[in-house]
Amino acid sequence: MPYAAITGWGFAVPDRVVTNADLERMVETSDEWIVSRTGIKERRIVSQDDSTTSLAALAAIRAVEQAGLQPTDIELIVVATCTADDFLVSQAALVQAAIGSKAAAFDVGSACAGFVTALDVATQFIRSGSYKRVLVVGADTLSRYIDFTDRSTCVLFGDGAGAIVLEATNEERGLLASVMGADGSGSEHLFVPGAARFAPESADLFPDARPHVQMNGQAVYKFAVNVMNEASIEAIEKAEMKLDDIDMLIPHQANIRIIEAAAKRLNLPMDRVWVNLDRYGNTTAATIPIAISEAAAAGKLNEGDNVVVVAFGAGLAWAAGVLRWGVAGTRNAAQ
């Protein structure tokens, strides 16, 4: 049974930087509060010219180039998003057209847990022998659904996209074990009320009625700390590894305190945890592929390293995995 190695990676974020000082001018908050409670210093927010498609396509092109492939080499595109640009058309189909690919394409919807879930789904397609080259994208522009008068949510989120290319290999690389879960009874802790019933044309008449994210921060926080720990440990056990075998943690970037708790549980010093939420905030499904891309570009991921990826979010839902970094032998199996 082939494995699914990560052979390419890339990310894209909007140019517009919104700092904590900018938010201080919009809501009653402070840089001190935001940094001490979350670790976030600034985030990127889309302008009129950006979209989920534009960010996802740029990240995808970069990942395909990094893999040394052409968009036409990709057989399947899976996009994790909760902010697709179209209600009917999958975000993956929009990315496919934007990058000039002919691949099969569909979306995975699991909010912040979406990318790890999509990585798992894509890996299964390669392991079953159905496809040999799959593009997995995590992309979101949640700022379009944020109420920028609500200080409890507007300081947390940013926009962005990250992508990876998976290729079939006979070597033990890529996602080796995974864990997924959901608890829909907690859905009211993080959701967008009224979104399904919203008529866009009413936005001009009733701007305040525009659907926006509502969150019970403390409930999500408690859930996150528990589930990050439990799902990571379960994935490590499923991979038949011990804590000592783990070289790096790439967690969902929502709150530095949640990340530090997960690192502590895994016995990892913070220099073996990739953190970028200070610069991007919580980019929903994009946090982990952006972090993978940055860590790889910084030379922090070495051939054979065992990496835990773990995410949680609206659903409530979670997903974790242990992946082995590197491309050894990949091209032989993928030909």
Q: Which residues bind ligand UT7 (CB under 6 A)?
A: 29, 33-34, 37-38, 112, 151-152, 155, 215, 217-218, 220-221, 224, 254-255, 282, 313
Report the first-to-last Cα separation within the chain, whole angstroms.
15
The least distance separating ligand UT7 from the CB of residue 244, rounded to whole angstroms, comes to: 29
Phi, psi of 11 (to 5 degrees): -145, 165
* HSE-up (13 A, CA, CB side) for residue 61: 11
Strand partners, 180: 319
Catalytic residue among 229, 255, 276, 282: 282
Kindly tell me which of 27 and 97 has the beta carbon lying closer to ligand UT7: 27
282: annotated active-site residue: yes
The least distance separating ligand UT7 from the CB of residue 22, rounded to whole angstroms, comes to: 13
Q: Length of the chain in residues, anyone?
A: 335
Which phi-psi region, left, alpha or beta, contains residue 150 (left: φ > 0; alpha: ψ -120 to 50)?
Answer: beta
Catalytic residue among 20, 82, 112, 189: 112
Distances (CA, A) of 311 to 61, 87, 228, 302: 24, 25, 7, 22
Residue among 282, 89, 288, 121 at smallest CA distance from 190: 282
- Residue 233 to residue 245: CA distance in whole angstroms: 12
The least distance separating ligand UT7 from the CB of residue 144, rounded to whole angstroms, comes to: 16
Q: What is the helix (H) or strand (E) element at residue 71, kind and residue range?
A: none
Own/partner pairs, 87-93, CB within 8 angstroms, 24+ separation: 91/52, 91/53, 91/56, 91/139, 92/137
252: annotated active-site residue: yes
Kindly tell me which of 40 and 76 has the beta carbon lying closer to ligand UT7: 40
Burial class (CB in 10 A: 0-12, 13-18, 19+), 73: middle
Catalytic residue among 212, 252, 255, 276: 252
The least distance separating ligand UT7 from the CB of residue 208, rounded to whole angstroms, comes to: 20
Q: Which amino acid is located at 9 in the chain?
A: W
The least distance separating ligand UT7 from the CB of residue 42, rounded to whole angstroms, comes to: 14
Neighbours of 204 (CB within 10 A): 7
Nearest residue (beta carbon) to ligand UT7: 217
Kindly tell me which of 145 and 238 has the beta carbon lying closer to ligand UT7: 145
Kindly tell me which of 33 and 145 has the beta carbon lying closer to ligand UT7: 33
Phi, psi of 105 (to 5 degrees): -150, 135
Token duo for residue 276: 């970028």
The least distance separating ligand UT7 from the CB of residue 51, rounded to whole angstroms, comes to: 21
User: What amino acid positions are annotated as catalytic residues?
Assistant: 112, 252, 282
